[in-house]
Amino acid sequence: MQNIRNIAIIAHVDHGKTTLVDKIIHATNIFRENQESGELIMDNNDLERERGITILSKNISVTYKDTKINVIDTPGHADFGGEVERVLKMADGVILLVDAFEGPMPQTRFVLHKALELGLKPIVVINKVDKPNCRPEEVHDQVFDLFFNLDATEEQLDFPTFYGSSKQGWFNTSLEPAADITPLLDGILKYVPESKVQEGNLQMQITSLDYSSFLGRIAIGKITRGSISENQWIGLAQEGGKIVKGKVKELYVFEGLGKKKVQEVQAGDICAVVGFDAFQIGDSFVDFENPEPMPRTAIDEPTLNMTFSINNSPFFGKDGKYVTSNHLKERLEKELEKNLALRVQQTDDANTFLVFGRGILHLSVLIETMRREGYEMTIGQPQVILREIDGEKMEPYESMVVDVPEEYASRVIDLATQRKGDLHIMETKGEMQHLEFEIPSRGLIGLRSQMLTATAGEAIMAHRFSEYKPFKGAIPGRSNGVLIAKNQGQGTAYSIEKLQDRGRFFVDPGEEVYAGMIVGEQNKPGDLVVNIVEGKQLNNMRAAGKDKDGNIAPKIQMSLEECMEYIQADEAIEVTPNFIRMRKKILAEEDRKRAERMAKSE
């Protein structure tokens, strides 16, 4: 049998996981000498490359000193925690990567807690020691305290530590720069245990899935007991204790960045099984004659929900390929198969679905992926999920960490406390102030953009779900009203220039608008309906070419997440492959006024 080590790399977002995986790939010569590879090799999804984050966990395998190392690159963002929780089951050890300046962050705590619970052997890697103001020794002490607070065993507390820089391509057991990353690779062989092979009948839990248009659905997981061969008849243990018999058509193991077809896989290795279609993540492959299913993974509950409905604006169907409620339903059901932290619920309206997720980023990545695939839809305001526990109304709370230059700290504290946040820790880290808050999840919606504005873009903010606590009362929403288009047509420079003293615009001259669409933000509270499609009346005295186009301020560009955080309960976002437009749910002005009067009378 081949020597195998299964290791997951966990870290807070932006601490350098994917760059470290790049270095491991290069150090073990997966690529030929003359082969172009680029950077961030594992982030092969367009969205991941654009945002610079890992969204989907991925497997690669490298061979070092005759030992096969299966490396699992995991997401670092709290919204994708469901992805991390399940893939850790394939690992026997974890590399905990920590930034030498920032130290352990909220997400570090979350993923480390899951890894320690599973009894995985940790290796701590303190990255970016080449950064100015870094404090590796202090960060090492903080990591030790974190392990201690998470009830690590004595064996886990005795973790090996490596220092270095993924970017510069070296790691060492001391702060002395090494020639390359071989000390870390040697450390993996030394400290990560070989995969525990148990005696008994076949057991393999499905922890992630893949899809191929040729092979269909592919189940991926680690074999904990027994072995699987091609053409073997095995059982699939589903939820509710049902066992389905099926035949293994093809079998693959990970090799380099791809997969290699094999005849048989032994316990301890990670493999991909083809031949079953009706499986879900969490099911397990077992011996059909003597089935012993594995316990299913429990995933943390969602904390936000949003309505997804068909696009019913006047521009319906102009831009997208998939526009009906059936298209929407099928796509959301397909997403449920692999996105464990997601839930979908049908509402009373056949064209509207309630989608539950882990956070704004989790849901916005789904929406962004769908619009790139050609879907059109209307998205409602994100709502936090409230619960009733022992007769008391409870809401989700998050622990939020903000690192900000000292001169902006008071603004950050002010913004957080307005949104019912409580400051627990305030300390100085180099030139930065480190602030830790406990804040209701509702208070986070729209907070990031406000905080970046107030701190000239300097604030670094991270948060993660902590627990449900008593409801804290109303939180102030957006203070300014919006400018709403009165008529359909093309915005004109003449009208926009005349209305600039009323607010800031989200559209440029020449853009198509429709009645009820939000075209800007007013300077004061309350909504204002404006006519931005009115052209200049031409007569003998007025020439067409004398408009003062140069005086128009450029429009405010808003990303999908910023729009999601900006809209109020009576507003929605129209999402199509090429456009993101904010609008009122009720487009006609008269109908909006009637609805307001009815709401007041109730």
Distance of CA 72 to the CA centre of its chain: 17
Distance of CA 477 to the CA centre of its chain: 24
* Rounded Cα gap, residues 104 and 126, in angstroms: 10
Question: Would you say 418 and 476 are in contact if contact means Cβ atoms under 8 Å apart?
Answer: yes
Q: How far is CA 12 from CA 24, 38, 53, 231, 461, in A?
A: 19, 23, 10, 42, 12
Task: Please list, in sequence order, all residues whose beta carbon lies within 8 angstroms of the beta carbon of residue 529, skipping any fewer than 6 positions away.
Answer: 483, 484, 485, 486, 589
384 is in an annotated binding site: no
44 is in an annotated binding site: no
287 is in an annotated binding site: no
Q: Is 283 left (phi over 0), alpha (psi -120 to 50) or beta?
A: beta
DSSP track, 492-516:
-HHHHHHHGGGEEESS-TT-EE-TT
* Rounded Cα gap, residues 276 and 236, in angstroms: 8
Element (H, E) at 40: none
323 is in an annotated binding site: no
Strand duo 161-165 + 121-127: pairing: parallel
- Radius of gyration, CA atoms only, the chain: 27
12 is in an annotated binding site: no
* Rounded Cα gap, residues 252 and 261, in angstroms: 4
28 is in an annotated binding site: no
Query: 387 has which bridge partners?
Result: 394
Query: Three-class SS string for 330-356?
Result: HHHHHHHHHCCCCEEEECCCCCEEEEE
Instruction: Provide the 10 A C-beta neighbour count for residue 200.
Output: 12
Q: Which two tokens stand for residue 599?
A: 């709401």
535 is in an annotated binding site: no
Instruction: Provide the 10 A C-beta neighbour count for residue 490.
Output: 13
* Rounded Cα gap, residues 574 and 378, in angstroms: 5
Task: Please list, in sequence order, all residues whose beta carbon lies within 8 angstroms of the beta carbon of residue 26, skipping any fewer than 6 positions away.
Answer: 37, 169
67 is in an annotated binding site: no
Three-state DSSP at 80 gives helix
Question: Would you say 445 and 306 are in contact if contact means Cβ atoms under 8 Å apart?
Answer: no
362 is in an annotated binding site: no
Element (H, E) at 340: none
Three-state DSSP at 579 gives coil
User: By 3-state DSSP, what share of the chain in percent is helix, strand and coil, each rounded to 5?
Assistant: 25, 35, 40
Question: Would you say 70 and 6 are in contact if contact means Cβ atoms under 8 Å apart?
Answer: yes
Q: How far is CA 227 from CA 160, 167, 197, 266, 282, in A?
A: 33, 39, 10, 4, 19
201 is in an annotated binding site: no
* Per-residue b or e along 204-224, where b marks 16 or more CB atoms closer than 10 Å to that residue's CB: bbbbbbeeeeeeebbbbbbbb
Question: Would you say 452 and 394 are in contact if contact means Cβ atoms under 8 Å apart?
Answer: no
Which DSSP symbol is given to 165?
Answer: E
* Rounded Cα gap, residues 363 and 82, in angstroms: 13
Residue linked to tokens 């790049």? 22
Query: 515 has which bridge partners?
Result: none
Name the binding residues: 14-19, 127-130
Annotated binding site for GTP: 14-19, 127-130
